[in-house]
Amino acid sequence: MRLIIASNNAHKIAEIKAILGAFYEEILSLKEAGIDIDVVEDGDTFLANALKKAQEVFAVCDADAALSDDSGLMVQALEGAPGVYSARYAGAGHDDAANNAKLLEAMQGVPNAERGCRFVSAVALVRRGLHTLTAQGQVEGRLLRAPQGENGFGYDPLFYYEPLHKSFAELTAAQKNGISHRKRAIEALCAQLERPC
């Protein structure tokens, strides 16, 4: 069984491989599969974007299934922003540091009690000859006033996870993978894979 992950993000791929390895003998990134595709993420929800990417990748791949994840940060005080625009919050061509800087600027003066946020992940699995599966996961946190930690990626340095008293960027990869929104979404997907389809 061969699975293509609709991403070249090394961090995402490592997380997904660690969780779904029991279900697929071969799990490849787009690059590893020799697929060069740029799917326009124009959905208004994480799930819509994940489904679109999985469908478009599956249409051009030689595999049993294609999996896509769309995820991001939703900040309560910003009415859910950056949301589906998380990766391009500071504009096209900007990086994690620029996105984080824009977010901190938008949250200046917001008191700690109103800095609640959550990471959300939606996953879609398109399968040959079987119906498509989708799932979502989330993890609650609080937005810090300055980056903390050197690990992870994206908004991890600003996402404070209360149960461990650390930002996501202060966690080891194993710690983060054990509690992340992506893990929760993929575990929900695994629960569906374990049932007869």
Q: What is the DSSP string of 110-140?
A: --GGG-EEEEEEEEEEEETTS--EEEEEEEE
Give catalytic residues, as residue numbers.
Answer: 70
Q: How far is CA 140 from CA 25, 89, 124, 127, 154, in A?
A: 33, 20, 22, 31, 16
C-alpha–C-alpha distance, residues 168 and 136, integer Å:
19
Exposed / middle / buried, residue 167 (Cβ in 10 Å: 0-12, 13-18, 19+): buried
